[in-house]
Chain A
């Protein structure tokens, strides 16, 4: 014991910990993250059946970009990400303001808003698929009471993607709200008092105090929900499987279907493309939003 202690003290002069302390973490990181990343970069350049592979250079990427459904998938991904992210920002902020004010049963309401976040996405997807059934779903039954015939929410190509986006917002807005609550609560009360002294009404206080000072919360919500929207897959798969036909396909579901079909090299190339796409959108956006924050 004593010898070990001595050793430790001597080392402390060079570095706080012996460097092999890093080893367990490095091994886990290497096996679970680095190796698959480089392996997938390699396999994205091959035609791969899981049993054997042949090197084909950039052919997979050429094929991936000439996929007729991929163009649709890209457009849908962007629509989906922007719609869900935008709605979560607006609704999350409104709910955040409501739930930081002195409403009745505030604790209960906060819990209710957050509850959908805790439910399994697949469960939510299946439930809403039932509710949105065109002829015996609850939603259209309710609309029918008003004398209007509801549309086929999930099977009419005009509505399908937006219907899924709606469910995504319903499920995800709780998280955005919690982030906004934290952001709004941390705004010092003095600003509001000062604004009131200057005669600002509620709307002006929101516009000139809450909105700019809750900016870090807005940035977090935008980035989290945009990344979530761009790589969204589980809800879409549970509700429409990309259908009808290819109309609600997003990049992730196109990749998944190629994987299902056994085109392993091609789907790996798709994953590389998705990685680059998310990085290309989110990194500059995050840089831009955070820089503005510092200037402000």
Chain B
């Protein structure tokens, strides 16, 4: 008998505590949203500033910022959380090819009919849309992929910003001869940083082969058989073979790279301009010694920049608070949202909201970046915004080419293989 009673007691106790728990939750009137972002210092600072400003305006909604690693590990976390139903109400993620891999129709709130869409640039809408529906709101700014350089050393040596690859190599030779600084900074500890010579050269690829993105997506064009497309790989090998790299290129990290280019330990750092945000955070006093230019191609008259559309923020389809989540996204995409971000991490580049403006005193690299968006200036989106196909092993391949382990043509063949897997996974027509 005792056995029976104690079991009954246990059940009652368990049920009681479960009831107590379920009553406790709705006692708070305030709605709490969670916002998942990557853990780069600039991202977290900007997100927290946005959350605070939004809460000040809407006292009944609070936003908690949660951070995750960036790169491949971050992709993994986002995908796993979506698949297991554990995603936060609002989350930040890439636009373009990576966005499509998240199955937006199933996982994200539809933002097509939001009132602010008319204020968003079409370039942005096109990279967060699937089957004519819009799923993302712009977060942060448009970026350029090119070269951050140390202006102080350029001034000391009387160098000019190169418009062709040959001029770039000439500058490197002069820097190597006359200074102790490394002409080109590479930081392969953070493997993603190794891709810039290749990805940032896409403006030049597109000038030579305008149909490359469509042909590539349809499995008709290959990197290994398109001479213009593997120039990026060849350039990477050239700077390695010429001995232009910093001595510890294999073990240096992204942060080391930023330190080198801002303090003049190195001169050229191929990078995306979101790095300006990190420079603003960590090397503010040297920020105006840093400038930016597009990766040069062969034709000085046709010099232009490869552009990365900024990240998007998305609402989780199964969130319990869809209206509040949409309200928060509307705030981030508004002029007010832009101003909060500019105040928190500085002006990094042009925003994707039409009514947003930049202050007059933007940091020097941002000024250089913005000049590529001025009237008559030339730019083109990176390949990942024109084709859903991007191979995941690219960063390892570029590390190998950049360290002289693999030849450019071998790397291109390997990358074509890698890309095939992604195309199959996305179920694209023309691949098998």
| Bound CA span A246–B427, Å | 27
Interchain nearest-CB distance for B409 vs A (Å) = 14
Q: How far is the CA of A63 from the CA of B421 in the complex (A)?
A: 9
| Pairwise interchain contact A244-B76, C-beta atoms closer than 8 A | no
Q: Is the CB of B425 within 8 A of A155?
A: no
Which A residues lie within 8 Å of B103 (CB)?
49, 51-52
Known: A68-B417, A262-B101. A246 touches B79 (CB 8 A): no
Query: Is B357 interfacial (CB-CB < 8 Å)?
Result: no
Query: Does A134 lie within 8 Å of B414, measured CB to CB?
Result: no
A205 to B309 Cα, complex, angstroms: 74
Question: Are A257 and B399 interface neighbours, CB within 8 A?
Answer: no
Tally the A-B contacts, defined by beta carbons under 8 Å. 98
Identify which of B75, B188, B397 contacts A155 (C-beta below 8 A).
Answer: B188
Q: Which of A269-285 contact B (CB under 8 A)?
A: none
Q: B188 and A244: CB pair below 8 A?
A: yes
Say yes or no: A257-B72 contact (C-beta < 8 A), given A135-B248, A154-B250, A155-B250. yes
- Chain A positions 212 through 249: 1 when the CB is less than 8 Å from some CB of chain B, otherwise 0: 00000000000000000000000000000111111100
B393 close to A257 (CB less than 8 A): yes
B118 at the interface (CB under 8 A from A): no
Name the contact of B393 in the complex, choosing from A69, A133, A266 (C-beta under 8 A): A69
Q: Do B72 and A266 have beta carbons less than 8 Å apart?
A: no
- Segment of B19-27, B288-296, B347-355, B400-408 in the binding face: B400-408
Chain A interface main SS type? loop
Q: Which residues of B contact A50 (CB under 8 A)?
A: 79-80, 82-83
Question: How far apart sit A294 and B392, CA to CA, in the bound complex (Å)?
Answer: 51
Cβ of A156 under 8 Å from chain B: yes
Question: In this assembly, does A1 line the interface, its C-beta being within 8 Å of a C-beta of chain B?
Answer: yes
Contacts A49-B425, A261-B72 hold; do A246 and B250 have CB atoms under 8 A apart? no
Q: How far is the CB of A106 from chain B (nearest CB, A)?
A: 39
How far is A52 from B106 in the complex, measured between Cα atoms in Å?
11
B residues less than 8 Å from A134 (CB atoms): 247-248, 250-251
Secondary structure of the B contact surface, majority rule: helix
A152, CB-defined interface residue at 8 Å: yes
Would you call B76 and A259 a contact (CB within 8 A)?
yes
Residues on B with beta carbons closer than 8 Å to the beta carbon of A1: 1-3
Inter-chain contacts of A261 with B (CB < 8 A): 72, 75, 392-393, 421-422
**CA distance in complex: A152, B189 (Å):** 13
Give the most central of A69, A154, A242: most B CB within 10 Å.
A69
CB closest chain-B residue, reference A51: B103
User: Are A262 and B405 in contact, with the CB atoms below 8 A?
Assistant: no
CB neighbours (8 Å) of A69 from chain B are 393, 396
Measured between alpha carbons, how far is A129 from B392 in the docked complex, in Å? 25
Query: Count the B residues whose beta carbon is within 8 Å of the partner chain — how many?
Result: 38
Q: Which of B89-119 contact A (CB under 8 A)?
A: 101, 103, 106-107
From A54, A136, A152, A244, name the one whose CB has the most chain B CB atoms within 10 angstroms.
Answer: A244
User: Considering the complex, which residues of chain A in the window 1-38 have a beta carbon less than 8 Å from any beta carbon of chain B?
Assistant: 1, 4
**Set A68, A155, A156, A260: member contacting B76, Cβ < 8 A:** A260
Chain B hits for A260, CB < 8 A: 72-73, 75-76, 392
Please encode chain B, from 238 to 282, with 1 for each CB lying within 8 Å of some chain A CB and 0 for all others: 000000000111110000000000000000000000000000000
Is B424 engaged at the interface, CB distance under 8 Å to the other chain? yes
| Residues of chain B lying within 8 A (CB to CB) of residue A242 | 396
Q: Which of A107-135 contact B (CB under 8 A)?
A: 129, 133-135
Tell yes or no: A183 within 8 A of B by CB: no
Q: How many angstroms from the CA of A51 to the CA of B79 in the assembled complex?
A: 9
Knowing A51-B103, A244-B188 touch, does A263 contact B414 (C-beta < 8 A)?
A: no
Give Cα A134–Cα B397 distance, bound, in whole angstroms: 22
- In B368-399, the 8 Å CB interface with A consists of 392-393, 396-397, 399
Complex CA gap A207/B75 in Å reads 55
Whether, in the assembled complex, A86 has its beta carbon less than 8 Å from a beta carbon of chain B, the answer is no
Q: Is B334 part of the binding interface, using a Cβ–Cβ cutoff of 8 Å?
A: no
Shortest distance between the CB of A101 and any CB in chain B (Å): 41
Contact between chains at B392 and A257 (CB < 8 Å): yes
In the complex, the chain A residue whose C-beta lies closest to that of B391 is A261
Q: Is the CB of A51 within 8 A of B107?
A: yes
- Chain B residue numbers with a CB within 8 Å of A63 are 421
B411 → chain A, closest Cβ, in Å?
A: 9
Q: How far is the CB of B170 from chain A (nearest CB, A)?
A: 27
Nearest CB of chain B from residue A155's CB, rounded to whole Å:
3
Within 8 Å of chain A (Cβ to Cβ): is B191? Answer: yes
- Known contacts A51-B103, A155-B250, A245-B399; decide if A263 and B421 are in contact (CB<8 Å): yes
Contacts A134-B247, A152-B248, A241-B191 supplied; 13 other A-B pairs, CB < 8 Å: A47-B427, A52-B103, A68-B417, A136-B248, A155-B403, A156-B250, A243-B191, A243-B396, A244-B403, A246-B400, A257-B72, A262-B101, A262-B425
- Mark B residues whose CB is within 8 Å of A: 1-3, 72-73, 75-76, 79-80, 82-83, 101, 103, 106-107, 188, 191, 247-251, 392-393, 396-397, 399-400, 403, 405-406, 414, 417, 421-422, 424-425, 427
**6 A-B residue pairings within 8 Å (CB atoms):** A50-B80, A155-B188, A245-B405, A260-B76, A261-B72, A262-B425
Instruction: Report A's interface with B, CB cutoff 8 A.
Output: 1, 4, 47, 49-52, 54, 63, 68-69, 129, 133-136, 152, 154-157, 241-247, 257, 259-263, 266
